[in-house]
């Protein structure tokens, strides 16, 4: 789930009078391309917004009880290619397990969204809406401010890469906490991690500093500030196996190299932070070498 804003595939049908005081313009009644899940057809303070659609489900932004409490609602619609009874059982089991994993991670202090409500039989789960942007977006934005010439990039001082190195360490620590609870994510990518801004107080101070003449380097460094939150546990599993944990890291390593090739050499900082934050980190990284070797063999064989 990559909760970066996208334009929902909707069709404007007609104008209607809005009862909300937050906007002066009339509201637009939207006809969704996909039928809304029943839970979202009830009157609410704000219309649901389709954020993204994947192979297994759709992600909506809506509110939870109060207009000022945004939440993310993940809905798994029925699959017409499956037998209805089997599909209902799989959907119910998958969502119930996802909620269980999230609640377990929250209890252990792992940075994941809180579960607000769920109805596995109806195919939906409502979780905390994480403000900010995906880590993928922020890293690419930061890299876009860097020299694009290879020689200039290589000659850049180590301290210039400090903000990204610190982010990599925070990611490593977050994954270590996840694995410590006995959970493997199954789809670790920088798209499935959010960079949540710090509190409003910190943001206000930062804005004040910018008005007093902050250097370009300091301004770019602020792109990578925030707390790392791991999202989308649709493929998660419970496991204490070093093999499964190493596979989790290998999936992230391959995805990181593909998505952020200019920062591939900094992935080692993530692994070092993982090792320092997790008592079994050394054995997991040793197993990671075996997983890499098997991956190379598969690539050679095709």
Of residues 75, 281, 268, the one with CA closest to residue 178 = 281
Residue pair 185/248 in contact by the 8 Å Cβ criterion: yes
- Catalytic-labelled residue, pool 87, 160, 187, 227: 187
- The pairing of beta strand 49-53 with beta strand 27-32: unpaired
CA distance 141 to 280: 34
Residue pair 193/228 in contact by the 8 Å Cβ criterion: yes
Between the CA of residue 180 and those of 51, 154, 183, 251, 280, what are the distances in Å? 31, 36, 7, 18, 8
Active site (annotated) includes residue 242: no
DSSP code at position 158: G
The alpha carbon dihedral of 224, 229, 230, 232 has a sign of: negative
Q: Write out the DSSP string of 72-93.
A: EEEE----TTS-HHHHHHHHHH
Which positions are catalytic?
187
């Amino acid at each position: 789930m990559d909760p970066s804003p996208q334009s929902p595939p909707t069709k404007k049908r007609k104008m209607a009078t809005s009862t909300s005081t937050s906007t002066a313009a009339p509201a637009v009644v939207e006809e969704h391309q996909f039928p809304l899940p029943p839970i979202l057809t009830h009157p609410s303070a704000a219309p649901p917004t389709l954020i993204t659609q994947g192979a297994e489900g759709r992600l909506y932004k809506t509110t939870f009880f109060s207009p000022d409490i945004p939440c993310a609602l993940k809905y798994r619609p029925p699959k017409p290619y499956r037998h209805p009874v089997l599909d209902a059982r799989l959907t119910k089991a998958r969502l119930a397990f996802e909620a269980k994993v999230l609640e377990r991670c929250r209890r252990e202090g792992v940075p994941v969204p809180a579960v607000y409500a769920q109805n596995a039989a109806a195919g939906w789960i409502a979780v905390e809406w994480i403000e900010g942007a995906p880590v993928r977006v922020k890293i690419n934005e930061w890299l876009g401010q860097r020299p694009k010439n290879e020689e200039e990039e290589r000659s850049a001082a180590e301290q210039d890469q400090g903000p990204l190195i610190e982010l990599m360490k925070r990611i490593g620590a977050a994954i270590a906490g996840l694995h410590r609870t006995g959970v493997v994510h199954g789809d670790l990518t920088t798209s499935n991690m959010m960079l949540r801004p710090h509190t409003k107080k910190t943001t206000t101070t930062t804005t004040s500093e910018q008005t007093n003449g902050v250097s370009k380097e300091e301004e770019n460094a602020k792109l990578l500030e925030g707390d790392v939150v791991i999202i989308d546990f649709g493929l998660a599993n419970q496991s204490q196996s070093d093999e499964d944990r190493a596979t989790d890291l290998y999936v992230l390593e391959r995805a990181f190299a593909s998505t952020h090739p200019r920062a591939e050499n900094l992935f080692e900082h993530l692994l070092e932070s993982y090792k320092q934050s997790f008592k079994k980190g050394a054995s997991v990284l040793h197993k990671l070498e075996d997983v890499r070797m098997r991956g190379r063999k598969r690539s050679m064989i095709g």
